[in-house]
Amino acid sequence: MMTLALFQTPAPDIVTIQGAPFWAMLPPEAITIIALGSIVGGVLVFWPLMRALGRRLEGRRVADPALMHEVESLRDRVAELESHHDRLAELEERVEFSERLLAKVREQSPPARS
């Protein structure tokens, strides 16, 4: 069996600092420099982030010219392949028609005697 022991200690004294806060003792020039430095630092950190977020929200992305050229060449190739597809479909129809005609001729001709 385990025994639990609790020790009671006196409450710590509350320390109170008398006087004005440390920034009240700074000269106005130092406060101005600190405020301007904070603003400039915030702008330097958040400016690129806000621009990237704005571009993302607009849906506008800056594209690489080489990449755009490659996309255009791929589009041209797809258009060329689509035109070949139409030609291939027409050739398939002609072959099918020829096969039907040949089958019809074979049905009508008398069987060969051996």
Give me the residue spans of the domains in the chain: 30-62, 63-108
Contact residues for 84 (Cβ-Cβ < 8 A; gap 6+): none
How many angstroms separate the CA atoms of 92 and 51, rounded? Answer: 55
CA angle 14, 16, 22 (to 5 degrees): 145
pLDDT at residue 60 above 70? no
Is residue 31 within 8 Å of residue 23, measured between CB atoms? yes
pLDDT at residue 45 above 80? yes
| pLDDT of 76 | 94
pLDDT at residue 108 above 90? no
Question: Which of 93 and 114 is assigned the larger pLDDT?
Answer: 93
Helices (H), the chain: 28-58, 65-108
Is residue 61 within 8 Å of residue 55, measured between CB atoms? yes
Mean pLDDT throughout 36-64? 87
pLDDT at residue 111 above 70? no
pLDDT at residue 85 above 90? no
Mean pLDDT throughout 87-95? 92
Q: What percent of the chain stands above pLDDT 70? A: 87
Is residue 52 within 8 Å of residue 44, measured between CB atoms? no
- Here the tokens at position 78 are 């797809």
- Here the tokens at position 87 are 């030609």
